[in-house]
Amino acid sequence: MSADTNKVVYMDNNATSQVAREVLDAMMEYLTDSYGNPSSMYTFGGLVGGAVATARKQVADLLGCTPEEITFTSCGTESDSTAILSALRTYPDKRHVITTRVEHPAVKSLCDNLEILTGQKHKVTRLKVDSEGMLDMAEYEAALSDDTAIVSVMWANNETGVIYPVEEMARMAKARGILFHTDAVQAVGKIPINLKDLDIDFLSLSGHKLHAPKGVGVLYIKKGTLFVPFLTGGHQEHGRRGGTENVASIVGLGKACELAGLKMDEENTRVRAMRDRLEEGLLSSVPKSMLNGHKTSRLPNTANISFEYVEGEAILLHMNRYNICASSGSACTSGSLEPSHVLRAMGVPFTAAHGSIRFSLSVYNTEEEVDFVLDKMPAIIASLRKMSPFWQE
C-alpha cells in the first residue's frame, strides 16, 4: 500500500461498521418492491411481517434465546434507556441503580440525569475499576441492596475492549431479586453469547456495530421479566415498543446476525492476530506508549494505546492525511477536549490519557492495512512530539 493511496484504512469499527454487502442485498427488496406495513391484514403486508419474524429468529439464534424475547428498537441507546427506566417503573419503591464509572454515555448520561432530575431521590452507585479497567467484585457485592432496582453493566467496554464478568454479576443480582441489564453493543458478534442459561434480564445491541445499518437495535427481554414499555402507541413488537417497524433495517440486522455467527471464529483468530500484531508493533516501535486495558480479558478487535506527550486529536488529524481512521475514544463524545472518562477512571496519567488512540478492527481489515499503519504511526508520533514542550528524547 503506497503512501499516496486513496484507499481508506478503516480501524474505527467500535464507532460504526460498514454495511455488509450481503446485508444490503437482503434489505433492498424491502426498500423497493416489498414496502407493505408488516401489521397489515392483507397478504402484501403479511409477507413483510414474515420477513421481520425471520430476522427476529436470526437475532435470537446469535444470542442463544427465543425469538419472543427479542424486541426491535431504533438503537442501543433506546434499548438501554428502555431497560433501566422499565425497572424503575416496575419497582417504584426501589430507587437504587448500580452501574460502573466506565459505561458508554448511553447509560452514563441516563444515570446522571436520574439523580439530577429526581432531586437525588434516585441513587446511583458507580463501581470503580482498577488500572487495567477491571471491576472489584467485592465492591459490587457490597453495593447490592434491597433498594436496588437494577444493575446495568456493559458486557465489553467500547473504548478499551475490556470484557466484564456479567454472567457472574447477573447471578449475584438474581440471588438478591434484582434485575440485571447489560449493554452488549460492543460484544455481540465478537464473542460467543448464549443467554438461555444466564440470569440476564435485559440486553441491548445496536445494528451498526456489526455490519448492519444505523438506526436499528434490539432489546432482549428475558421471558417472565416484568416490563413497562418506553414508547407506547400501537401494538407493534408484541406491545413492547410502539411505532411501525423499520422493516428494511430489521431485515438487514437479521442477516448481519446470521453472518456474525458464521464469522465468529474469524473474529477470534484472524482479527485477533491482526490486532495483536498492530498492538505489539506500535508498542515496540513508539517510545513512551502504553496499552490501556487488560491484556487478555478483552474483545478480539480492540486496542487502545496511549502515546505520551501528544494530543489524540492531533494524532488523528495526521493519520487522516493517510486516510487512516481511528478514534480517540467513544464516538458519542467526539469533539470533547476532556480526557476519556474511561481512562480517567482507570487512573491513566494525564500525559497519556490525552494521547490515547483506539484501533478497532473487523473481518474486513487486511494484513496490508496493518503494515501500512505500522509504517506511518511512528513518524506521526515523532513529528508531533518535536512540537511538544514537554517531550524529552
Q: Which residues of 300-311 are buried (b: 16+ CB within 10 A; e: fewer)?
A: bbbbbbbbbbbb
| Among 75, 257, 325, 332, the one annotated catalytic | 332
Neighbours of 247 (CB within 10 A): 24
DSSP assignment letter at 205:
E
122 vs 118: CA distance, rounded Å? 6
Residue 80's closest CA among 53, 103, 60?
103
325 in active site:
no
Kindly give, in sequence order, each residue whose CB lies less than 8 Å from that of residue 279, ignoring residues fewer than 6 positions away. Answer: 291, 303, 305, 359
Alpha-carbon distance 210 to 363, whole Å? 10
How far apart, in whole angstroms, are the C-alpha atoms of residue 287 and residue 143? Answer: 41
Task: Answer yes or no: are the C-beta atoms of 169 and 140 closer than 8 Å.
Answer: yes
SS3 label, residue 9: strand
Set of cell numbers at residue 130: 482498577
Rg (CA), the chain: 22
Pure H helices in 214-311: 247-262, 264-266, 272-285
What is the C-alpha to C-alpha distance for residues 97 and 148, in angstroms, rounded to an integer?
Answer: 6
> What residues are annotated to the active site?
332
